[in-house]
Amino acid sequence: MSIENSAVEKISQRVYREYPEMRGTRPSITSGDKRCTLVYKARVQTPAGTMSRVVRVVTDENGRVAKISTSK
C-alpha cells in the first residue's frame, strides 16, 4: 500500500497544527500491508540546549490517522 500525496499533505497539516516545531519538515514514509507510517524529525530548542523530537503517525489503508505518538 502506498499513501497518496494529498493524504500526506492533509496529515502534515494536522501534525504542524499540533506540533508547530515540526513545521517545514517532510516525513519519511514506510508502507506496510494495511498501514502506513509517517515519521517527522526536528531539532527543538529548549532552555537546556537542543533536543531531537520525533512525531510518528500511523494511518489506516484509507489514509486516515489511526495513532499519533511523539518523543519527549
Bridge partners of residue 28, in order along the sequence = 39
Tens of each residue's pLDDT in the chain, 72 residues: 578 889 999 999 999 999 999 999 999 999 888 899 999 999 988 888 999 999 999 998 888 999 999 997
Torsion angles phi and psi, residue 44, rounded to 5: -115, 135
Contacts of 4 (CB under 8 A, 6+ apart): 63
69 close to 18: Cβ distance less than 8 angstroms: no
Given the C-alpha cell 498501514, which residue does it identify?
Answer: 35
Tens digits of residue pLDDT in 50-68:
999 999 999 988 889 999 9
Say if pTM beats, i.e. exceeds, 0.75. Answer: yes
SS3 assignment, position 39: strand
